Amino acid sequence: MTDTHFTADYLIETPLPLEKVAEIMAGEQSSGTFIRVEGETDDLRARARAEVLEVVDLGEIGHPTLPSAWLIRRGITTRPHRATVSIRFPIDNIGVNLAALASTVAGNLYDLGEVTGLRLENITLPASWRRRYLLPKQGIAGTRRLTGVSEGPMIGSIIKPNVGLTAEDTAGLVGRLCDAGVDFIKDDEISANPVHAPLSKRIPAVMAAVKRAEDRLGRRVMIAFNITDETDAMRRHADLVSSEGGTCVMANLNWCGFSAVETLRRSTDLALHGHRNGFGALSRCDVLGIGFDAYQVLWRLAGVDHMHVHGLDGKFAQENREVIESTAMCLSTLDDQSDDRVLPAFSSGQWAGTVPVTWKAAGGDDFLFMAGGGIMGHPSGPAAGIESIRAAFHAMKNGKTLEDAADTSEPLRKALEFFGKAA
């Protein structure tokens, strides 16, 4: 790795010679097109063309994963091979421009006629260049400071029902959750600025409830208000959160885009909770889209402080292995000279029974464990739901099983009896 270039790693599928396709990828995303043109001098190529570093053949597969009219028109019916490809790009082609970086490492590559599958897996950036981007402003340390949780996992919940509550209803629920002992509460990703609970009313009402609870608890619960919107509106919403004493906002990353999130990051010191809903469209096919490793690198550059990784043994499609690997990526430093880690946020079907696998996967307690139904749906109410989760984590820390811990914790026992039937 040098200070003048960065690398991107791909998985590709093609019936054509692998090295030829890799060179097409490098040319397409730097100085070239399908034919050499006037002005594309040797000197320009030496300065601006991307370079293929490595191609590793992973073997032949039985049939193409995706159709290609380009191949069909040429009558190419050869069985495709899959391969990993590593390409090095000049930083000077991009400058400090996240949208241009994303366009370079992905962009038209997905539409190349030569491939029947292509997935961006990883991006490796020199530290000197990374530090010119925004990066997380609060991260793990800042989130702990703002929540007043100096050790142990942070326990969070989600406003349920997803939508439909008024601003006053939401404030009442937040007050109950604060009194129940939660550390973090977030809006659902589909509840941003609805007519029945506009942010202009919801933010002041909720923060009033949080402040009342703070008088009793001695700490301020972090609320991640979903301010997903167009860029100027997001900035206005964030300003309102800040003026009301809030500490966090949430954005649906894939629908706001890099530029909106970068603008938001520049305009506020609030913790930025990054929700990745829609990521499945980018990642569920094993030979199309973008892997979480590359995805989280890009969003760290935008300045996100928290990243969703889904949940272990949860309700979504991801295998536990993928969730575990995503957690490790969030907790790894990309730069030895600074703490640029982001807080991994577990959610989706989480409850006390998913605590053991989460504790093992995280390898420590720097994470946010969020349960909606696992707290709100506890048969004894939200306070018991939170206590069941805390009892489960306490059991893990002390080397006990959930069943042993349930002997001395009624909320945990009831959670195992109630949720265990649906797990």
pLDDT tens, per residue, the chain with 423 residues: 689 999 999 999 999 999 999 999 999 998 866 567 777 777 887 788 999 999 999 999 999 999 999 999 999 999 999 999 999 999 999 999 999 999 999 999 999 999 999 999 999 999 999 999 999 999 999 999 999 999 999 999 999 889 999 999 999 999 999 999 999 999 999 999 999 999 999 999 999 999 999 998 899 999 999 999 999 999 999 999 999 999 999 999 999 999 999 999 999 999 999 999 999 999 999 999 999 999 999 999 999 999 999 998 888 888 899 999 999 999 998 767 778 899 999 998 899 999 999 998 888 899 999 998 899 899 999 899 999 999 999 999 999 999 999 999 999 999 999 998 655
Return the sign of the alpha-carbon dihedral for residues 325, 328, 329, 334.
negative
The DSSP code sequence of 226-283 is E--SSHHHHHHHHHHHHHTT--EEEEEHHHH-HHHHHHHHHH--SEEEEE-TTHHHHH
Residue pair 345/308 in contact by the 8 Å Cβ criterion: yes
- Measured in whole angstroms, the distance separating CA 150 from the mean position of its chain's CA atoms is 23
Alpha helix positions (H), 82-217: 98-105, 127-130, 139-147, 167-180, 199-217
Q: Is 55 helix (H, G, I), strand (E, B) or coil?
A: strand
- This prediction has a pTM of 0.93
Nearest to 114 by CA among 78, 60, 62, 87: 78
What pLDDT is recorded for position 421? 67
What pLDDT is recorded for position 420? 85
What pLDDT is recorded for position 317? 86
What pLDDT is recorded for position 309? 95
Place of tokens 């890099």: 258
What pLDDT is recorded for position 423? 53
Q: Is 151 helix (H, G, I), strand (E, B) or coil?
A: coil
What pLDDT is recorded for position 34? 59
What does DSSP say about strands 248-252 and 222-226: parallel, antiparallel, or unpaired?
A: parallel
CA distance 130 to 148: 30
What pLDDT is recorded for position 124? 96
Place of tokens 């949208």: 99
What pLDDT is recorded for position 398? 93
Place of tokens 């054509």: 16
CA distance 297 to 125: 9
Residue pair 112/118 in contact by the 8 Å Cβ criterion: yes
- Token pair in block for residue 160: 């349920």
What pLDDT is recorded for position 411? 97
CA distance 80 to 99: 32
Spatial strand order of the sheet with 51-60 comes to 51-60, 81-90, 5-14, 117-124, 288-290
